Amino acid sequence: MKTISAKMQVDHPVTEGVLDEAIESGELRRRSGLNATTVIFLDPCLAVGFEDGSGVLLPVKNYPEFDGFETEDFAGLKIGFAGAALCHEGKDLQVSIAGLISASKPLMDMAASVIASRNGRQSSAAKAEAARANGKKGGRPRKVDTAL
């Protein structure tokens, strides 16, 4: 049998520096993730609100996770897992908000469109250098029609 040594010692004392680093790491993770802050049932949809004030309406009929839920059961939904999931203690339900959103084709199509638009605006260092070089020459060179 092969013995594997642990790489990280868990019995090290927690110093102020380690604690500050952990808090900063957690804050970065929180800011970069999906952070819902509110959930409200607006029949026939769930309204999920996020930190920046934006929100999304999710029709519950599209999600089998909510089959058997009564109107009063929706009042028991809470935000959990640091804003990443909807939880209901009585129904033993934990469902990912990202999963709910990704199950909606129109929302995913919109997300793909937004990402494509954002990525199209990005410029690499090579593209920026080529644009500067072309600018010095008076702009993009004209295409020469060789079919004459």
27 assigned to some structural domain:
no
| Measured distance CA(147)–CA(131) in Å, rounded | 28
| Measured distance CA(48)–CA(74) in Å, rounded | 12
DSSP state of 50: E
| Measured distance CA(96)–CA(106) in Å, rounded | 18
Looking at the structure, do residues 63 and 52 belong to the same domain, yes or no? yes
Looking at the structure, do residues 69 and 96 belong to the same domain, yes or no? yes
Looking at the structure, do residues 65 and 93 belong to the same domain, yes or no? yes
Question: What are the pLDDT digits (tens) for 39-60?
Answer: 999 999 999 999 888 999 999 9
Q: What is the pLDDT of residue 10?
A: 66
Which residue segment(s) compose the domain that 60 sits in?
34-103
Across 115-143, average pLDDT: 81
Number of domains into which the chain is organized: 2
Q: Is 88:76 a contact under the CB 8 Å cutoff?
A: yes
Q: Which two tokens stand for residue 16?
A: 């102020």
Confidence band, pLDDT 50/70/90 cuts, at residue 100: very high
Whole-prediction pTM: 0.62
Q: Is 86:39 a contact under the CB 8 Å cutoff?
A: yes
Percent share of the chain, pLDDT over 70: 89
Looking at the structure, do residues 81 and 112 belong to the same domain, yes or no? no
Q: Which two tokens stand for residue 98?
A: 């990202």
Q: What is the pLDDT of residue 1?
A: 56
Looking at the structure, do residues 90 and 119 belong to the same domain, yes or no? no
63 assigned to some structural domain:
yes
Confidence band, pLDDT 50/70/90 cuts, at residue 148: low
Highest mean pLDDT among 15-19, 120-124, 127-131: 15-19
Looking at the structure, do residues 89 and 125 belong to the same domain, yes or no? no
22 assigned to some structural domain:
no
Looking at the structure, do residues 97 and 127 belong to the same domain, yes or no? no
CATH number at residue 86: 3.30.2020.40
8 has a pLDDT exceeding 90: no
Q: What is the pLDDT of residue 95?
A: 94
Q: Can you tell me which residue has the tokens 């939904």?
A: 77
